[in-house]
Structure 1
């Protein structure tokens, strides 16, 4: 789970020569929040890919295919988030250890049944949506429309996916 000690500023300060209309302190705060969203997204990607490989049961085919669509979208999202962090002039963490320390989503090392997989993914998408909301607050305050736009898209995606997964459990 993310803690203040695990912030981006400990990893790397933003490039002070970047002059995009967002001061260095704001870029640092935005990048720190974005890094937590990146860690959540990457952890959710790994979990979804794991579930794609290991799902069993009466809904195997539909879940296997759905998980593939979801992990592909999450993979693309990790790149978009990381590239926005770099555009803010901050280096991006890229190790499993760093992501594990920063993520609010627990890893899954076992093989749960298909219903537990769906529940975990609902929880993961809801957590990622909450992380995106935190980024939005900081980005909006700093007048950073590109980041606000990116995380608005992420919230929309995570909330829709959580709803669809939740619906399969009813």
Structure 2
């Protein structure tokens, strides 16, 4: 006796399918940037050396932990909009706007790379606002606002380390 699988009902949350697709495309780019930033920050946490080792090691740990938790929020929003979330290095590498850092930079250069990556991630989030606003998608707008606040504040804090 064959069992029939039932199809899930169509998504009807007040956002057109074509708008959800555009939003998911932007969120997928944000997820790619966020994952790349997470990986860079964790790498620098493992490999930082020098007179500021302890403070940077601890700071980077706080940052990569926050970033790790954000990945789930972004991916789950993609899923709530009815699409699969990207989740491979290959896909992230194609979608990210952040350049991978080769080797192990000096501590100050790590901070510079992280400032640039935080700002790039903020720009990716900000680019999505017009689409989200047009679609009347408040949950995604809220997520973007939260992510922007974190990335801009973190970039400022890191940038402050580079001032004389």
TM over 0.5: yes
Distance 1:150 1:124 in 2: 19
1:87-144 CA-to-partner distances (Å, cap 9, x unmatched) read 0001011100100000000112310000110000000000000001012221111100
Q: Give unpaired runs (5+ residues) of structure 2.
A: 1-7
> Where do residues 113-152 of structure 1 align in structure 2 (5 Å cutoff)?
113-152=106-145
Give the one of 28, 31, 35 matched to 1:38: 31
Q: Which has the larger radius of gyration?
A: 2
Distance 1:46 1:152 in 2: 22
Distance 2:97 2:88 in 1: 16
Give the one of 47, 52, 55 matched to 1:54: 47
My pick for the range that moved more, 136-145 or 27-36, is 136-145
> Where do residues 62-141 of structure 1 align in structure 2 (5 Å cutoff)?
62-141=55-134
Distance 1:67 1:117 in 2: 10
Q: Secondary structure at the match of 1:20?
A: coil
Distance 1:100 1:58 in 2: 33
Map of 1:3 onto structure 2: none
1:35-82 CA-to-partner distances (Å, cap 9, x unmatched) read 000000000000000000000010000000000000000000010000
Q: Give unpaired runs (5+ residues) of structure 1.
A: 1-14
After TM superposition, the score normalised by the length of structure 1 is 0.90
Distance 2:69 2:133 in 1: 24
Q: Please state how far the C-alpha of 1:16 moved relative to its aligned partner.
A: 8.4
CA RMSD of aligned residues (A): 1.1
Q: Which runs of 4+ in 1 moved over 4 A?
A: none
Give the one of 148, 152, 156 matched to 2:149: 156
How many residues align structurally?
156
Map of 2:16 onto structure 1: 23
1:136–1:152: 8 Å Cα contact kept in structure 2? no
After TM superposition, the score normalised by the length of structure 2 is 0.93
